[in-house]
């Protein structure tokens, strides 16, 4: 690997790059990047919009999925077409783009609202793990919208298998100034293999049933099957990897956001009252479901502020194909480029009182002040999450439905610790006491 020019003191110490990040969450910190050399790997940590834009947008063709990240999930995902590079990625996005356009999103809103209300109606007062509760509702929402109900008979199996996948990953605690720089949690490999096998067996049954149907529904499942067919004879194993990838990306990010939002709202009474009043107003006024996300500006702002403090994808990694340079940063071919999203979202130079939960930042008239590429909850560039709008609209509807019926209260004995697994999960599942609101 070519060498990167740096001061002699840095070359002598593998921890010198980390020392450049001392005080990263304090006022006055302005370091735009750090270079960390460890275990024969050079990691370039980016903390400024200009190099982030260069690596992930302007010169995105030079940056591929990081090998370590790929090894982390390959036993579960296999060779998924959804994680393809270059022309493959472009073709996939083109083929499924209409499933995420404005008319489609508006049609999903009614389904999401109706199912979320049914689910919440069946909940009694008590203490629940917010992560598990939100995951169950979000997975069924995903099934009913993008999969034409194909997942619905397998929800318990899928949730159990997904939990086992996450449990097999030790999870890096994303706390303090180190939070978000590491990106490769410890793995219990036998447990991961077993969990991945269980998950893939469940998806295999779903695929087998759909492949046996003559009628085409045109949903995401049909399109993923069709995309594989375009390239010649596709194997069932390849299709399974495609579906598993979307299961993880398509419901877990929403579930994590809703769970963390319930935690934050339970700690901030003013925001909770305002969000609940907004949800009451649009429901009582008979606003059509398709208009709910647009008529819930404060609830949506709560979703986005939650994603600032607890981004569902808290670290983004890429690996350079060839040597590159931007300003004073030299990036050798093979280097891992890391954007610690959680840290970026808490830097004082971009955010006023960054540790404070303040949804007003994201209200119309305020969000224009947010520095471009300093807020990246779903990534950026050609590999930005295609379902970002779907996920945020779903999260807003789910929150509104829950807050219409219940007042959440955090029931943990200590504060939850965010853990980097596949997405940002809490170490304790976020225990939330749901107390029925009077008259609801």
Residue 103 belongs to a domain: yes
Residue 116 belongs to a domain: yes
The backbone torsions φ and ψ at residue 134, rounded to the nearest 5 degrees and listed phi first, read -65, -35
Q: Are residues 426 and 332 in the same domain?
A: no
Q: Are residues 25 and 155 in the same domain?
A: no
pLDDT tens for the chain, 440 residues long, are 333 333 443 344 556 667 788 888 899 999 999 888 876 778 899 999 999 999 999 999 999 887 777 676 766 766 666 666 667 667 777 888 899 999 999 999 999 999 999 999 999 999 999 999 999 999 999 999 999 999 999 999 999 999 888 888 777 777 776 666 766 667 778 888 888 888 889 999 999 999 888 888 999 999 888 877 665 555 777 788 888 888 888 888 999 999 999 999 999 999 999 999 999 999 999 999 999 999 999 999 999 999 999 999 888 889 999 999 988 889 999 999 999 999 999 999 999 999 999 999 999 999 899 998 999 999 888 878 888 999 999 999 999 999 999 999 999 999 999 988 878 899 999 999 999 998 77
The backbone torsions φ and ψ at residue 41, rounded to the nearest 5 degrees and listed phi first, read -115, 135
Q: Per the structure, how many domains does the chain have?
A: 2
Residue 251 belongs to a domain: yes
SS3 290: helix
Nearest to 429, CA basis, from 411, 407, 405: 411
pLDDT value at residue 12: 41
SS3 209: helix
Rounded-to-integer distance, Cα 417 and Cα 412, Å: 11
Q: Are residues 227 and 322 in the same domain?
A: no
Residue 199 belongs to a domain: yes
Q: Are residues 183 and 255 in the same domain?
A: yes
Q: Are residues 170 and 75 in the same domain?
A: yes
**Do residues 138 and 258 make contact, with C-beta atoms less than 8 angstroms apart?**
yes
**Do residues 354 and 343 make contact, with C-beta atoms less than 8 angstroms apart?**
no
What DSSP character marks residue 29?
-
pLDDT value at residue 405: 96
The backbone torsions φ and ψ at residue 316, rounded to the nearest 5 degrees and listed phi first, read -115, 130
Q: Are residues 207 and 139 in the same domain?
A: yes
Q: Are residues 217 and 193 in the same domain?
A: yes
pLDDT value at residue 9: 39
Query: How distant is the alpha carbon of residue 264 from its chain centre?
Result: 17
How buried is 172 (Cβ within 10 angstroms: 0-12 exposed, 13-18 middle, 19+ buried)? buried
Sheet of 172-173: strands edge to edge?
A: 172-173, 418-420, 424-426
Residue 356 belongs to a domain: no
Range of the domain at 21: 1-64+314-351
**Do residues 37 and 14 make contact, with C-beta atoms less than 8 angstroms apart?**
yes
What is the maximum span of the chain, computed from C-alpha positions, in angstroms?
Answer: 69
Please report, for the domain that includes residue 401, its CATH number. 1.10.630.10
Residue 358 belongs to a domain: no
Residue 361 belongs to a domain: no
Residue 363 belongs to a domain: no
Q: Are residues 296 and 326 in the same domain?
A: no
Q: Are residues 328 and 414 in the same domain?
A: no
Q: Are residues 391 and 278 in the same domain?
A: yes
Please report, for the domain that includes residue 344, its CATH number. 3.30.43.20
Helix (H) or strand (E) holding 102: helix 102-121
Q: Are residues 74 and 208 in the same domain?
A: yes
Q: Are residues 330 and 208 in the same domain?
A: no
């Amino acid at each position: 690997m070519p060498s990167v020019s740096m001061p002699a003191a840095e070359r002598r110490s593998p921890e010198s790059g980390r020392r450049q990040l001392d005080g990263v969450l304090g006022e006055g910190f302005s370091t735009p990047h750090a270079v960390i050399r460890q275990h024969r790997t050079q990691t370039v940590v980016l903390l400024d919009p200009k190099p982030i834009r260069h690596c992930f947008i302007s010169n995105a063709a030079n940056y591929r999925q990081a090998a370590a990240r790929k090894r982390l999930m390959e036993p579960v995902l296999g060779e998924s077409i959804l994680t393809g590079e270059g022309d493959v990625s472009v073709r996939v996005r083109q083929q499924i783009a209409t499933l995420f356009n404005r008319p489609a999103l508006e049609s999903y809103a009614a389904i999401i609202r109706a199912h979320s209300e049914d689910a919440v109606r069946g909940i009694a007062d008590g203490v629940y793990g917010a992560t598990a509760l939100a995951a169950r509702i979000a997975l069924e929402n995903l099934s009913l919208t993008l999969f034409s109900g194909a997942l619905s008979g397998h929800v318990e199996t899928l949730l159990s298998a997904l939990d086992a996948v996450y449990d097999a990953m030790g999870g890096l605690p994303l706390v303090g100034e180190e939070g978000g720089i590491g990106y490769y949690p410890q793995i219990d490999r036998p447990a991961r293999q077993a969990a991945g096998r269980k998950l893939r067996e469940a998806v295999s049954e779903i695929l087998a049933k759909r492949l046996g149907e003559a009628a085409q529904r045109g949903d995401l499942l049909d399109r993923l099957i069709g995309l594989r067919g375009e390239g010649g004879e596709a194997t069932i194993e390849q299709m399974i990897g495609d579906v598993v990838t979307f299961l993880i990306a398509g419901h877990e990010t929403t579930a994590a956001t809703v769970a963390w939002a319930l935690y934050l709202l339970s700690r901030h009474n003013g925001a909770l009252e305002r969000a609940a009043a907004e949800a009451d107003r649009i429901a009582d006024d008979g606003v059509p479901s398709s208009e709910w996300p647009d008529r819930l500006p404060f609830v949506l702002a709560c979703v986005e502020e939650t994603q600032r403090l607890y981004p569902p994808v808290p670290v983004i990694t890429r690996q350079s194909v060839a040597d590159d340079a931007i300003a004073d940063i030299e990036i050798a071919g093979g280097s891992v480029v890391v954007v610690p999203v959680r840290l970026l979202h808490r830097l004082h130079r971009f955010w006023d009182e960054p540790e404070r939960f303040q949804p007003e930042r994201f209200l119309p008239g305020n969000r224009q002040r947010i520095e471009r590429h300093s807020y990246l909850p779903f990534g950026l560039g050609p590999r930005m999450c295609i379902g970002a709008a779907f996920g945020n609209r779903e999260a807003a509807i789910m929150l509104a439905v829950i807050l219409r019926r219940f007042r959440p209260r955090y029931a943990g004995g200590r504060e939850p610790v965010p853990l980097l697994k596949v997405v940002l999960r809490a170490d304790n599942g976020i225990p939330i006491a749901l107390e029925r609101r009077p008259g609801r």
